[in-house]
Structure formats: C-alpha cells, structure tokens
Amino acid sequence: MEESRSRRSRIFSNFMALGILQGTNFLLPVLVMPFVINRIGADGYGIVAVAQVILLIFCTVSDYGFNLTATRALALHGDDVAKNARLFFTVLAAKMIICAVLFAVLLLLITTVPFFKQHFQLYLFGFTWVLGQSLLVSWFFQGVEKMKYITIYTLLARLLFVALVFAFIRERADNRFFILFMGIGSLVAGIASIFQAIRLCKLPIVRPLWRDIVQELKEGWPVMLSNISINTFLSINVFILRLFTNDLMAGYYSVAEKIFLAFRQVPVMFSQVIYPPLCQLLQKGKEVTRPFFKSVYVPFLLLVLLGAVLLCSFSSFIVTFFLGANSGNTVLLLRLFCLGPVIVCLHVPASQLLMAANHKKSYLRVLSWGTVLNVICNLLLVQVWGSLGTTISVLLTELFITAGFNREMYRNKLAGYLRARAH
C-alpha cells in the first residue's frame, strides 16, 4: 500500500513537471499568436505554420523513438550509473549524427525545390529548433522519473522565446524569425538539460562506441517510424489544406489546430509519465497493473472529459482572443476538435501496454495505417468542405487509432493487465 501511494505521488509530481514542460512548449507559442498574427498577418502565419510542419517531421526523425526505447531501458536499469551513462552519451551521439543527415537533406531541398528556395531563410533559421529539440534530454529525466529537474530550464527558455518575439517581430518579413526564436529557446533548454542530467545523476563521461550507436538506431527504428506516422498525421493537415485553399484559410485552421494540439498534449503527457512505472510493473504481473490503472487512469479520464466540456463552452471567447471578430469558421473547428483529446485518452492504456511489453510492430502497424487513412480522408474531404473536411479527417484518424490500439492489445493478450477477467 505504501509503495502504491508513493508511486501515485511520484506520478503526480512528474505529471505536473511534464505539464509545465509541455505547457511552455505548446501554450506559449499559442499565446503569442495574437501578437504575431497582428504583425505578419494570418497569411504570413500560414507560411510559418507550413514550415513548422516540415521541421516537426525533422524533429521526429531526430528524436528517433528514444523517448520510448531509451526510456524503457533506463526504467529497467534502475540506479545502475554505468549503464545509464553509457546509454546517455550513446543516444546523444546518435541524435547528433541524425541531425547532420537531416541538415544535409534540408540543404538539398532548399537548392532543388522552388517552394523551399522561396523561403530558404525561414527553413535555415528554423533548423535551430531541430537541433535544440535533439539536445533536450527529457527522455532521460522521464526514464529516471525526475522530470521536475528539467522544467525550470524549459520554462526560462520559452520565456526567452516570447521575449524575442515581442522584441523583434514587427512586420510581415519578420515571419522568418519566428521558428528561429523557438530554436534559440530549445538550444538553451537542451544544453542546460545535459549539464543538469550529468550533475544530478553523477554520470561519468563515456565515449560512445559505434556498435552501441548502431544498436540504438536499430532498436529505435520501428518506434521512429511510428512517431513519424503520428506526427505526420498531426502536422500534414495544414499542408494539405494549403495545397487546396490559401494562406488565409490555412492560418485560420492553424489557430484551432494549435489549441487542439496543446490540449491533446495532456493525455500524451499522462502516457509518458505512467510509461516508466508501467514497464517495471509489467515485470511483476497482472495483479499489480490492474489496481494501477484503476487508481491512476480512471480519475484522469474524467478530468479530460471535464476539460473538453470547458474548452467547448469557451471556444468562442478563446478564438476571439486570438483572431478578433474576423475568425472565419475557427470556432466551429475548435468545438469539433474538443472531441480529440477524449478519443486519445481512450487508447492510453492499450498503447502504453503495447510499448511496455515491447510489441513495437503492433504499435507501428496501427499508426502507419492511421496515417494512410488521414491522408486519404484529407485529400477527399478538403476538396468538398475545406478546413471542416480537414478537421473531420483528424477526428476519424484518432478514432481509427484508438480502435486499432485496443484491438492490438486484445490480439497480443494484454487485456488481462488492464482489467480482471470475468468469472
């Protein structure tokens, strides 16, 4: 009982810390939107939103699924400092290699594709965001369940981002600096997090071995593909919408989508926090995982439902705050998006059980088909209903992924870890 109470307390502490961390990552860019849109216009913001789509995919590749594979390894290592140090520097080295390859790809795109060439400064400056996110070792603090130590650095970095935006973005041409300022904040947080991890966990400096790097890359490959799938389906929507409409409509949609994505991070954060203890509990058997889900997950699901109702109720006020009276159909889009986080929350137990039990292929299969469904629905519905069709495509994809994860949980005989069998 005492161990269970201690675990719940640690989960709550880590969730609050991760909430501040992710909140600053997502909410501060959302909160500066009214100022930015007023300076660069909704169409100028649409150009930035499309660039963020591309660079977010780059960030996903550089992350390479270490937030699951390395986190799982750390949870199983326990307090073995030597193993943790070896993993820490191996993952950092792997990420820097990936970043070098990604930068070469970006240079190729800028020199060969007219769309990228037209906004080459925006993309070159924006790559600092990819590098900064690669240096951020939140995966390490998640694995050792000490998320609160990274929170203060991220908060300061995001406040730096806000200060730079207010100080230097003055006109439409300044839109090329928006992602650069995000990148500067990420670089500050990333470098600080590395020193904090080394100092806090007393990690000895270890030179990464090439074979270890290759092994980590092999281990993370399926998860990286899974993460690309989910981030592609979450980020490509505005890109497809822009292909069939214009910068203004993409800008209006992007406001509703960013508020949705900020709220969607709540169940995502919860899944990240419960993942390390779940990896440990799975080793002990079904009798300890069932009460874990009942005491931790069920109350959280009710809170997400309450949050969705409140967001739907205040959608008009929120959209007016960002866009003023001229907001197109953004209020309708945001009210529909309120369903998204609830749907995501319904697959948290299944998706985390699949990863904790190392069923990476099942996890990848669901997300890959979900991405395919999203692209097909987008291409069909956006031509009929515009941004409303894009929003419906997102919700249909979330439903498909939730059903898919729960189906895979039953196929892999993991449902017994979630609930007691009927007698």
Name the nearest CA neighbour of 7 among 213, 265, 278, 242.
278
Q: What is the rounded average pLDDT for all residues in the chain?
A: 83
What span, in angstroms and rounded, lies between the C-alpha atoms of 124 and 323?
A: 29
Q: Which of 155-159, 281-285, 317-321, 333-337 has the highest mean pLDDT?
A: 333-337
pLDDT at 308 over 90: yes
Q: How far is CA 148 from the centre of its chain?
A: 18
Q: Which one has a higher pLDDT value, 160 or 373? A: 373
What span, in angstroms and rounded, lies between the C-alpha atoms of 244 and 358?
A: 40
Taking residues 278-307, report their average pLDDT. 83
Query: In the structure, what pLDDT confidence band is assigned to residue 26 with cuts at 50, 70 and 90?
Result: low
Question: For 246-263, what is each residue's pLDDT tens digit?
Answer: 777 887 888 888 888 888
pLDDT at 29: 65
What span, in angstroms and rounded, lies between the C-alpha atoms of 141 and 146?
A: 5
What span, in angstroms and rounded, lies between the C-alpha atoms of 147 and 153?
A: 11
Task: Give residue 266's region: left, alpha or beta (phi > 0; psi -120 to 50).
Answer: alpha
Q: Which residues, 6 or more positions from 114, have their beta carbon under 8 angstroms from its beta carbon?
A: none
What span, in angstroms and rounded, lies between the C-alpha atoms of 180 and 160?
A: 12
3-state helix, strand, coil in the chain (%, to 5): 85, 0, 15
Name the nearest CA neighbour of 308 among 255, 350, 271, 266.
266
pLDDT at 30 over 70: no
Query: In the structure, what pLDDT confidence band is assigned to residue 405 with cuts at 50, 70 and 90?
Result: very high
Alpha helices in 119-246 (DSSP H): 120-135, 138-143, 148-168, 178-200, 210-244
Question: For 326-347, what is each residue's pLDDT tens digit?
Answer: 777 888 999 999 999 999 999 9
pLDDT at 284: 77
pLDDT at 147 over 80: no
Question: For 210-249, what is each residue's pLDDT tens digit?
Answer: 988 888 888 777 777 777 777 777 777 887 888 888 777 8
Question: For 360-403, what is each residue's pLDDT tens digit?
Answer: 788 889 988 998 999 999 999 988 888 899 999 999 999 999 99
| Tokens linked to 9 | 């307390």
pTM above 0.85, yes or no: no
Taking residues 86-96, report their average pLDDT. 91
**Residue 363 · residue 351 · CB < 8 Å:** yes
The torsion angles phi and psi of 338, rounded to 5 degrees, stand at -60, -25
Taking residues 181-201, report their average pLDDT. 87
Question: For 107-121, what is each residue's pLDDT tens digit?
Answer: 999 999 887 888 888
pLDDT at 21: 65
Residue with tokens 């007691």: 420
Secondary structure (DSSP) of 337-405: HTHHHHHHHTTHHHHHHHHHTT-HHHHHHHHHHHHHHHHHHHHHHHHHHTHHHHHHHHHHHHHHHHHHH
| Tokens linked to 328 | 């197109």
Query: In the structure, what pLDDT confidence band is assigned to residue 423 with cuts at 50, 70 and 90?
Result: very low
pLDDT at 102 over 90: yes
Query: In the structure, what pLDDT confidence band is assigned to residue 6 with cuts at 50, 70 and 90?
Result: low
What span, in angstroms and rounded, lies between the C-alpha atoms of 24 and 347?
A: 25
